[in-house]
Structure 1
Amino acid sequence: MALLALFSSATFAFEEGLALSESSWEEKAEWIETLSKDTTDEAEQILQHWVGGNLFYWPAENRLVAGTKEGRKYELREIIGGLVINVVKRKAVKKIKVNNKLRRQIKQALAYRSLSSPDASKRLKAITELKRKPDYSLLQTLLRLEVANPDLTTARDLRTLVGLVYLESSKSTEQIEGIKRLTGNLSSEAKEGLSRLLLREDLTSDVRALGQRTIKDIEKKLLYWGHAQNIVFGVSLGSILLLAAVGLAITFGVMGVINMAHGEFIMLGAYTTFVVQQIIPGNSATALLVSIPAAFMIAGAAGILLEKSVIRHLYGRPLETLLATVGVSLLLQQMVRSIFGPLNQAVTSPEILSGSFVVNAAFAITYNRVFVIIFAALVIVGLWLLMYRTSFGVRLRAVTMNRGMAASMGIRSQRMDALAFGLGSGVAGIAGVAISQLTNVGPNLGQAYIVDSFMVVVFGGVGNLFGTAIAAIGLGVATKIVEPIIGAVLAKIVILIFIILFIQRRPRGLFALRGRSVEE
């Protein structure tokens, strides 16, 4: 509201449209000055229509209207709201004329109004628009606003805009001031503005030297921040891989079962999120919280059913297990298509996960990716506590290491098999909840993660949760570092070749763990 103190209260008499239409260019400039000081929406709309050449005086009603040419006639609309009033002949209205000088004055007035708005988002939008094509004629206006601007959220962008406007000057002192203001600024507009300045032939040697040093410094910082951004994106990708693979680390790593339907359990979790959001509309945060246990239970129940009905009869027969789970995978995909249709479904992220955490113009990460990273860390910590700090985990590891000895101690191995498979499938389900916050939900969602999940489990060490976490984050970061150099497709190929060569030297992966498959 402090910005509004720059204006004096002035109300435009809209009935004076006749005087405006018949005024000279000098008088029109005074009208623009009057309108620029009027804080009403009507004044702003008049300026908008005027600069667009759509402002008319309608003598029959003695007022200003917005007009659009329709053949040989004009469609007249209200200044505010755009409601159609009438369709009249050309002679029935008088156009409020505008020349280039007045147009520049109106643009300056509109920019001044927008930048002085009490709405921070409106000010930021105006600054962003003006940065695309800096106008030196706005310099004094911007300097006054910079002094009066109390909002830190727009101060940095306003400083950038003033720097860009200074660069448009023909005076070396102002050009130097603009360069100083943009020193260390990593925005694309700053770099483009400096590059545009260096193309000018009328620069002094001091200005050119300072500009070249500044742009080199910006490029160096952009390179460093770009690497940091790739690492963070790699951790984000690794967290997604971890969520997708950690359930497989239990079913494949601990139990030795090749479950090709693992991706479909991820898909079930994602569709559970979609269904819960339909049941609890208008509150996506609550829906997300409810979806996590719901997805775990639904995917876990499906996993237990699969183990008892199919997998239990195929232990020790990996080829038959693989073929059977492929069939289950296709069955689940078709079931989902029959219920929800073949098209992807959108899941709305909670408001708290909207937007980004912005460090500077070169480094930002969306809140939903931060959520996935934290969520993956909580899942892996929770699983570790379950496996190593509970009686269930002790019994499961006992069955894994020595089934006969565990049975002699009274542990029901078949029951543990079903529970372990349900646990792995349930974790896959909550992975689907997290992935639904990043992409649309579709019948083929799980297929995008099944191969990468197996790579992560094998690379990290079969059955080792810590190894799975290290492998997932490592592969994610490596992929994001290599992608900018050779492209996404070649990056996947290079990573796959590396894993194959690594497994040739270390068949047990990074962190080996004795389990049933090793014993056999």
Structure 2
Amino acid sequence: LANPNPLARREAAQRLVGNADPVVLDALRLRQAEEANPLVKGVIDTALNIAVLRDPASQLNERLNAIDAVAGSLEPAVRNVLRDRLAQSDAAAERNAADRALKKIDLRTERYETADTIFFGLSLGSVLLLAAIGLAITFGVMGVINMAHGELIMLGAYTTFVVQQIFPDGHEWSLLVALPAAFLVSALVGIVIERGVIRFLYGRPLETLLATFGVSLILQQAVRVIFSPLNRSVVTPEWMSGALQINPIFSLTYNRLYIIVFALIVFFALQLVLKKTRLGLQVRAVSQNRGTARAMGIRSERVNALTFGLGSGIAGIAGVALAQLTNVGPNLGQSYIIDSFMVVVFGGVGNLWGTLTAAFSLGIANKIIEPMAGAVLAKIMVLVFIILFIQRKPRGLFPQRGRAAEE
């Protein structure tokens, strides 16, 4: 309680909430008179007010003041003692006060549970964004239905695992090596796929679907042969472990918080590449009018390979992020390929801002529906909604405009 760090003092006071030991209560009263930090002082006040409500010798007016002081507190001990007073008190005024306080606590609890649901929805949306943003390039810009996109995500996750095996004592900084390594591995595999298979199938989307589905099976089996079919675990760095505790009900887990920030950084970096670099200009030119771009001297085949490599490399980066949330296995990518296509189609094919909006919208919608309908039914309901939405707006939330879109 006398620690110079207010966070340590607050944690110590929280551990003493509900403690009825007279010695402990005397120590809290002494600290209450000296404490200057309002957060720490509030926890101490809560602990002392709970003690008043549990003291059979306390006066009615003291208990009423204590109930008013703790009304709205989210400490579990407060809820328990208020329920006891509501059930045991002989004074109508005290029962009414306890009832009002419990309703206020329930209202605050609902608000923070809603905030928690939105946070988990944003974290799911950030995962969908990372998984779909590479597909938004290969499918949205190039018109290629790449069913091997999930396996490119898987390769990024396995690259993270390999980097940690190479540096067994470097868990705290291995992600800094894994990110560029995963990008390069997935990008190179993507370029090989484009040069070896897809370049012969441009303008034939159904054939690209079948061909890349075959490639996905090859990549899955290759991983099973090299790493075995068993799932592998990736060690999470200490700076990504734990949670930021806002109150006893609401906390922000660091790994999901970092992934939300990371997804936004990747999104804006990709926007910068497409809008401000020569490669981005050429990608937009080839995607809008391949013939005119070639007449202007742009090597469309080289641009196609680099574009597909860029989208594949971003899929590899998504695998690094997913490795921090789940086990790494041969079927990792299959869990996200359908969701990724839904995000791209719902947001508007070829529109990165639409991909961002769709990813976070679907993530939040999933997490809101899940408690009421269950995880599987929530996915089905979201899928049905997207089907109905596409019936009304076939080009998604943010459709492309102009002559290229009409073509």
Both structures adopt the same fold (TM-score exceeding 0.5): yes
Residue 235 of structure 1: which of 122, 127, 133 is its match?
122
1:196 aligns with 2:71: no
Q: Secondary structure at the match of 1:285?
A: coil
Q: 1:8 matched to which residue of 2?
A: none
Question: For residues 29-178 of structure 1, what are the structure 2 equivalents within 5 Å?
Answer: 124=11, 128=15, 134=18, 136=20, 138-148=21-31, 157-170=43-56, 171=58, 172-178=60-66
Worse-matched range after superposition: 327-336 or 159-168: 159-168
The residue identity in structure 1 corresponding to 2:93 is D
1:427 aligns with 2:314: yes
Aligned 8 A contact 1:166 1:177 in 2: no
1:448 aligns with 2:335: yes
Superposed displacement of residue 180, structure 1: 3.7
Superposed displacement of residue 484, structure 1: 2.7
1:485 aligns with 2:372: yes
Residue 512 of structure 1: which of 387, 390, 399 is its match?
399
CA pair 335-164 structure 1, distance change in 2 beyond 3 A: farther
Worse-matched range after superposition: 355-364 or 423-432: 355-364
Q: 1:356 matched to which residue of 2?
A: 243
Q: Distance in 2 between matches of 1:303 and 1:515?
A: 30
Runs of at least 5 residues in structure 2 that lack an aligned partner in the other structure: none
1:404 aligns with 2:268: no
Q: 2:195 matched to which residue of 1?
A: 308
Q: Secondary structure at the match of 1:227?
A: helix
Q: Over residues 52-85 of structure 1, what are the superposed CA-to-partner deviations in whole Å (9 max), with x where a residue is unaligned?
A: xxxxxxxxxxxxxxxxxxxxxxxxxxxxxxxxxx
TM-score when scaled to structure 2? 0.90
The residue identity in structure 1 corresponding to 2:146 is N
Q: Secondary structure at the match of 2:252?
A: strand
Aligned 8 A contact 2:156 2:182 in 1: yes
Q: Over residues 362-402 of structure 1, what are the superposed CA-to-partner deviations in whole Å (9 max), with x where a residue is unaligned?
A: 32211111111111111111111111111111111111111
The residue identity in structure 2 corresponding to 1:324 is A
Worse-matched range after superposition: 154-163 or 375-384: 154-163
Q: Distance in 2 between matches of 1:193 and 1:398?
A: 68
Q: Distance in 2 between matches of 1:241 and 1:254?
A: 18
Q: Secondary structure at the match of 1:284?
A: coil
Aligned 8 A contact 2:134 2:315 in 1: yes
Superposed displacement of residue 258, structure 1: 0.8
Structure number with greater Rg is 1
Q: Secondary structure at the match of 1:211?
A: helix
Q: Distance in 2 between matches of 1:442 and 1:448?
A: 11
Superposed displacement of residue 182, structure 1: 2.2
1:330 aligns with 2:213: no
Q: Distance in 2 between matches of 1:204 and 1:505?
A: 61
Q: Distance in 1 between matches of 2:204 and 2:249?
A: 52
Q: Secondary structure at the match of 2:246?
A: strand
Q: Distance in 1 between matches of 2:335 and 2:219?
A: 15
Aligned 8 A contact 2:288 2:404 in 1: no
Q: Secondary structure at the match of 2:397?
A: coil
Superposed displacement of residue 315, structure 1: 1.9
Q: Looking at secondary structure, tell me which structure has more strand per residue.
A: 1
Q: Over residues 155-189 of structure 1, what are the superposed CA-to-partner deviations in whole Å (9 max), with x where a residue is unaligned?
A: 65554443333332223355335424422211333
Superposed displacement of residue 510, structure 1: 1.0
Q: Over residues 258-288 of structure 1, what are the superposed CA-to-partner deviations in whole Å (9 max), with x where a residue is unaligned?
A: 1111111111111111111222233323211
- Greater RCO between the two (CA within 8 Å, min separation 6)? 2
CA pair 271-189 structure 1, distance change in 2 beyond 3 A: farther
Aligned 8 A contact 1:479 1:491 in 2: yes
Q: Over residues 284-309 of structure 1, what are the superposed CA-to-partner deviations in whole Å (9 max), with x where a residue is unaligned?
A: 23211111111100000010011111
Identity of aligned residues (%): 54
Superposed displacement of residue 334, structure 1: 1.8
Q: Distance in 1 between matches of 2:12 and 2:332?
A: 37
1:183 aligns with 2:61: no
Runs of at least 5 residues in structure 1 that lack an aligned partner in the other structure: 4-117
Q: Secondary structure at the match of 2:244?
A: strand
The residue identity in structure 1 corresponding to 2:190 is G
The residue identity in structure 2 corresponding to 1:397 is R
The residue identity in structure 2 corresponding to 1:330 is L
TM-score when scaled to structure 1? 0.71
Worse-matched range after superposition: 163-172 or 421-430: 163-172
Aligned 8 A contact 2:129 2:360 in 1: yes
CA pair 352-155 structure 1, distance change in 2 beyond 3 A: farther
Q: Over residues 315-349 of structure 1, what are the superposed CA-to-partner deviations in whole Å (9 max), with x where a residue is unaligned?
A: 22222221221121122122222222222222222
Q: Distance in 1 between matches of 2:358 and 2:330?
A: 27
Q: Looking at secondary structure, tell me which structure has more helix per residue.
A: 2
Q: Distance in 2 between matches of 1:280 and 1:154?
A: 42
CA pair 163-333 structure 1, distance change in 2 beyond 3 A: farther
Aligned 8 A contact 2:187 2:311 in 1: yes
Q: Distance in 2 between matches of 1:462 and 1:283?
A: 40
Aligned 8 A contact 1:254 1:516 in 2: no
Residue 465 of structure 1: which of 344, 348, 352 is its match?
352
The residue identity in structure 2 corresponding to 1:312 is R
CA pair 305-140 structure 1, distance change in 2 beyond 3 A: same
Q: Distance in 1 between matches of 2:311 and 2:289?
A: 20
Residue 377 of structure 1: which of 253, 264, 281 is its match?
264
Q: Distance in 2 between matches of 1:429 and 1:516?
A: 33
